[in-house]
Structure 1
Amino acid sequence: MGILKSRLFKIIAIIVSIPVVLFGVYLLIMIITDYKPDKAIKLEIDNNQKSVIKKDESISIITFNIGYGGMDKDQDFFMDGGLGSRSKSKEKTLENITKISAFLKSKNTDFIMLQEVDRKSTRSFKVNEVEFMKDALKDYASSFALNYKVFWVPIPISKPHGSVQAGLLTMSKYGVESSTRYSLPGTEAFLRQLGDLDRCVQENRIPVEDGKELVLVNAHLSAYDKGGVIRKQQLQFLKEFVQKEFEKGNYVVVGGDWNHSMPGTDPSIFKTKQAFPDWLKTIPEDFAPKRYKWVIDKTVPSNRTVDIPFKKDVNFLSVIDGFLVSPNVDVISTKGINLEFENTDHNPVLTELKLK
């Protein structure tokens, strides 16, 4: 009987130790494969164009977070309290990005700034959305900056988020002199950071006929850091970054998903049955450098909550996408385009500008 007990205890010990060993192996792999980009990385420019911006011509820019082709109106997301962690299917991913690319083509803007564009990720069923967009929009130069590269996100346990490669895609009908990925400051706690985004901005330099440059910055800032410490660091970095470029005499446009309620906007104007989400903070009034202008549409929500699928007049809505432009850029028009979150949890924002 004693021998049987001893063997039983050994078997139980082995069974109990298996998850610990597996976690250790997983953690080791995550540490080894952890994406640690340099502070500045030169990016490849595909299909570069030849035209130069003229000062007497208007330029149009659209920013759009495409939600990795998986955050359509029927989806929720586990990080915000929902259950979803992936697109519904490969077919649905392709349907979403096909409709998004067709919309972008119909607008025919000079510049396109996209966030959450996947490149063979589990959550989007391995669809290479970067190549898809480049193929669908052949008249544009393009460059891509990774801001999310993780071997395996193990949660939720029932259907893990999985392997992720995603980032920022900027497209231009004008020639691009250079494209650079700049890491943003601030990191989460060790274990969380291993599975989280490595936030960055993507700077694109476009020549202007007067010898200056349009510095076009594609941004996707942090959303979930407790206490907002990381967000403050990122905003300070961005403030100093754009101010230096303006002091050089360049034209500066920052666009993207700020993950903050934009200055001057009021979410209470949108009908909702939900409370103001804890993660949503407002960009401080003193953030923008002197005489810089916010370019937003206060009347059209650019984002919805994703703890539940989209239901009209139920989800909390806000304006977190838009642009910041330097004093030497005139704003002709700005329009948020309400697509009712059909294919992603964001709405696009389009602006028309002129360089002074």
Structure 2
Amino acid sequence: MKTLKKAAKIMAAVITAVVFVFTGLLIFVTVMEYRPQKTESIKKSEGTREVSREDPFTVVSLNTGYAGLGEDEDFFMDGGTKVRPDSKAQVEENLAGIAGILKEHRADTYFLQEVDLDSKRSYSTDQKKYYETMLGLGGMFAYNFKVAYAPYPWPTIGHVESGLLTLTDARINQAERIALPESFSWPLKTCNLKRCLLKTRVPVKGSRAELVLINLHLEAYDSGEGKEAQSKMLLKVLEEEYKKGNYVIAGGDFNQTFEGITKYPIRSKEDWTPGAIGNEILPAGFQFAIDDSYPTCRLLNKAYEKDSQVYVIDGFIVSPNVQVEQVKVMNHDFRYTDHQPVRLKVKLK
């Protein structure tokens, strides 16, 4: 009887301790939750180059995967097991490789997604500073993922500071962070991404119009409602800018497949699958600018192989007054990140 009483006391003490720790952690992440405003000003870069309607304009978009998702990596949210690379050296190798790819595919502006400032998963590398230095361009950054501590899985994700980075040497009038609808409720939202649009205004020489550049990374791991709500808000912003007489280019990781792209069918829905976005959602005259010559993203359920599940989920949307001259996926076999760069060349009508 005494042994049973002692065991019961020990069990009660353990349960109390677990509840205490869990409650404390819940209070901590709730108090520390990142709560951005609907619209926030971003420090603009100090570029001086003028953009004109006479010259073509190029944009390269790439989800850099925080330089932690190279060809040998998998990821627990996609059906894999890992949370981060095994060493900082791997992150640094990926950073150098990504910078090399961006230099190879020179552009007037770069839209980069999943760029870390200070995160456990990328060994606290300041990737914004790195890309700015390597490309010799000024950058504008907006948080997409900012948590003091994400307590899952094991080992934990931990501290994350990550987001969208737009790099350009063009003269900038204004840069803004625009919050997108959240996909999760409390308590999940306390440690989840806070998606946004990074909107940059570029004056157009000899015109009152502006070239509005929108860098985006839409929801990935929701049931679908989040991506739909975020897509609708994105298109509302695009239409509003076009009605003002501006030129509009939006690009990035949509986490959705595009209508008419059937080259890379989804073979299994057991692991992560992207959503789908159709042409009917576009405002009148707007168009997707996408290419399926190569896939733009791979599934991270295992290290990359030639038979890996792949998708086309990265691309652009342009307004009716923007003429698409070329859009092309640059194939690098996912060596340094789980996405591939997409290069857009346009002419302002």
Within 2, Cα distance between the matches of 1:240 and 1:132? 34
Partner of 2:229: 233
Q: Is the 8 A contact 1:264 1:298 kept in 2?
A: no
Equivalent of 1:251, from 244, 247, 253?
A: 247
| Alignment map for 1:103-122 (pairs within 5 Å) | 103-122=101-120
Q: Is the 8 A contact 1:300 1:336 kept in 2?
A: yes
Confirm whether residue 349 of structure 1 aligns to residue 342 of structure 2.
yes
Q: Is the 8 A contact 1:263 1:294 kept in 2?
A: no
Q: Deviations over 1:183-231 (max 9, x none)?
A: 00133131221221001110000010112100000010012211x1111
Within 2, Cα distance between the matches of 1:286 and 1:304? 26
Partner AA of 2:249 in structure 1: V
Q: CA deviation at 1:255?
A: 0.4
Q: Deviations over 1:262-305 (max 9, x none)?
A: 23211437xx8x42566322102311111112111122100001
Partner AA of 1:106 in structure 2: E
- Unaligned 5+ residue runs, structure 1? none
Within 1, Cα distance between the matches of 2:32 and 2:47? 35
Q: CA deviation at 1:122?
A: 0.5
Confirm whether residue 297 of structure 1 aligns to residue 312 of structure 2.
no
Within 2, Cα distance between the matches of 1:268 and 1:293? 21
SS at 1:167 equivalent = strand
Partner AA of 1:11 in structure 2: I
Equivalent pairs counted in the alignment come to 347
Q: Deviations over 1:140-194 (max 9, x none)?
A: 221000010112222222x111111100000112011111000001331312212
Q: CA deviation at 1:7?
A: 5.0
Within 1, Cα distance between the matches of 2:13 and 2:290? 59
| Alignment map for 1:161-310 (pairs within 5 Å) | 161-209=157-205, 210-226=207-223, 228-268=224-264, 274-275=267-268, 279-310=273-304
Partner of 1:77: 75
Q: CA deviation at 1:6?
A: 4.8
SS at 2:93 equivalent = helix
Instruction: Name the TM-score, length of structure 2 as normaliser.
Output: 0.95
Q: CA deviation at 1:239?
A: 1.2
Partner AA of 1:219 in structure 2: L
Q: Is the 8 A contact 1:334 1:351 kept in 2?
A: yes
Partner of 1:29: 28
- Structure 1 runs of 4+ off > 4 angstroms? 4-8
Instruction: Name the TM-score, length of structure 1 as normaliser.
Output: 0.93
Q: Percent identity?
A: 33
